[in-house]
Amino acid sequence: MSDSLNDLKSKGLYRKFRVLDNSVSTRVNIDNRTVVLFSSNDYLGLASDLRMKEASSKAALSWGTGSGASRLISGNTTLYTKLEEAVASFKKSESALVFPSGYSANAGVISSLAQEGDLILSDALNHASIIDACKLTKAKVVTYPHCDTDFVKDYLDNSQKQKRVLVVTDGVFSMTGELAPIPQLCKICKQYGVLLMVDDAHGTGVTGPEGRGTLDYYNLNEPGIVQVGTFSKALGGLGGFVAGSNLLIDYIINHARSLIYSTALPPSVLASDCEGIRIISEDSSLRIKLFELIHQLRDGLVSLGFPVFPVPMPIISILIGDVSETLSVAQYLWDKGLYVPPIRPPTVMPGESCLRISLSALNSAEDIERLLWAIKAYYKKGS
């Protein structure tokens, strides 16, 4: 273990926790100093919203602090029913199922839908939870080049007949903020009669005219698409979910080990998750504010010569490449009171280290200008 840790340190890949001593917002106290946070996935600032706190505290006072068992034993309260009905309505699906986390949702859904003898086609930049879930299945897993729909079509054209085929992709890629080509993948999957699963963790609550996610953005109403998401980002809570047909949800309930053998979420979490969906469904002001900041940052980065993806998203990645240089830029920003995490392998591929900026509606225009000034100052100094 010591040798492994020393090796990570020598390569600039060693990680350790940073401890926050106040509530998560855009100004946080870390290591005895106050910094502006540009690393949270709390895109709409709901994690500190008073309405969320009140819903959580009322549920705790009424129901208690724990569920006491897994959902299939005695942990399945009416709060679950209410939340799953809200998710299904929000995602415009027949039914929905809530998991303890987004990670366990991917683990449970993918390992239920594919087994030994099946085929999974997975995007090269999919989240680690998808990669790990694919390994659990014992299915044949083919990693296709990032967003390469021609590869997917050609592979299905030329592959031997499989018992079941699952194509899986992030809706919004977590490190780049890039949108997956869902309409093209959907067309291919329908043509070949295979399943399409979209992990919309970073799209839910943000993407599309109503914030319903990537399918909302593309105006896709395809009931056969398996939609996975999480409450822990724009929705400001905790837990994962899958939305789809009644048959799909019934099947997953009876096969997903990460659901069957996990203790149910506490009532306070279920109540705040439900409140998060209500707020996003009824109030677009936070999303409007967020996208004003996104456009401000994108325009500023373009003026400095940095490329950005065509679709505005709260995740904006600055590709640097070299690990030590990425750490150097991040440290410079930290010294200026700005926390932008350096992203290094194995989170990204070797040679693709980057700064991952994520914005919240709680950020201010002044925060964005301060960040742009610091980035410009770093490169101006000739590093």
My answer on whether 26 and 158 are in the same domain is no
Give the C-alpha distances (Å, rounded to integers) separating 163 from 35, 87, 194.
53, 31, 10
My answer on whether 189 and 312 are in the same domain is no
Q: Is residue 45 part of a domain?
A: no
**What is residue 382's predicted lDDT score, i.e. its pLDDT?**
56
Kindly report the length of the chain. 383
DSSP state of 70: B
**What is residue 195's predicted lDDT score, i.e. its pLDDT?**
97
**What's the pTM?**
0.92
Under-70 pLDDT residues of the chain? 22-24, 381-383
Whether 339 and 37 have beta carbons less than 8 Å apart is answered as yes
- Final residue belonging to a domain, choices 282, 308, 342: 282
User: How far apart, in whole angstroms, are the C-alpha atoms of residue 224 and residue 245?
Assistant: 7
Q: Is residue 224 part of a domain?
A: yes
My answer on whether 238 and 304 are in the same domain is no
**What is residue 212's predicted lDDT score, i.e. its pLDDT?**
96
Q: What is the CATH number of the domain that holds 209?
A: 3.40.640.10
Question: Strand 226-230 vs strand 195-199: parallel, antiparallel, or unpaired?
Answer: parallel
My answer on whether 367 and 273 are in the same domain is no
My answer on whether 247 and 303 are in the same domain is no
Domain that includes residue 145, residue range: 50-282
My answer on whether 80 and 157 are in the same domain is yes
User: How far apart, in whole angstroms, are the C-alpha atoms of residue 171 and residue 246?
Assistant: 22
* Residue 7 CB contacts under 8 Å (≥ 6 apart), including other chains: none
My answer on whether 266 and 309 are in the same domain is no
Q: Is residue 4 part of a domain?
A: no
Whether 152 and 144 have beta carbons less than 8 Å apart is answered as yes
- Final residue belonging to a domain, choices 282, 310, 333: 282
**Residue 359 burial (CB < 10 Å; 0-12/13-18/19+)?**
buried
**What is residue 380's predicted lDDT score, i.e. its pLDDT?**
79
Q: Is residue 2 part of a domain?
A: no
My answer on whether 125 and 266 are in the same domain is yes
> Which DSSP string corresponds to 96-153?
EEEESSHHHHHHHHHHHH--TT-EEEEETT--HHHHHHHHHH-SEEEEEPTT-HHHHH
Q: What is the CATH number of the domain that holds 297?
A: 3.90.1150.10
User: How far apart, in whole angstroms, are the C-alpha atoms of residue 278 and residue 110?
Assistant: 28
My answer on whether 243 and 118 are in the same domain is yes
Dig out the tokens for 211 from the structure.
């914030």
- Final residue belonging to a domain, choices 257, 282, 307: 282
My answer on whether 231 and 350 are in the same domain is no
My answer on whether 271 and 302 are in the same domain is no
Domain count along the chain: 2
Q: Is residue 258 part of a domain?
A: yes
Q: Where are the alpha helices (DSSP H) in 218-364?
A: 246-253, 257-260, 267-282, 285-303, 323-335
My answer on whether 291 and 357 are in the same domain is yes
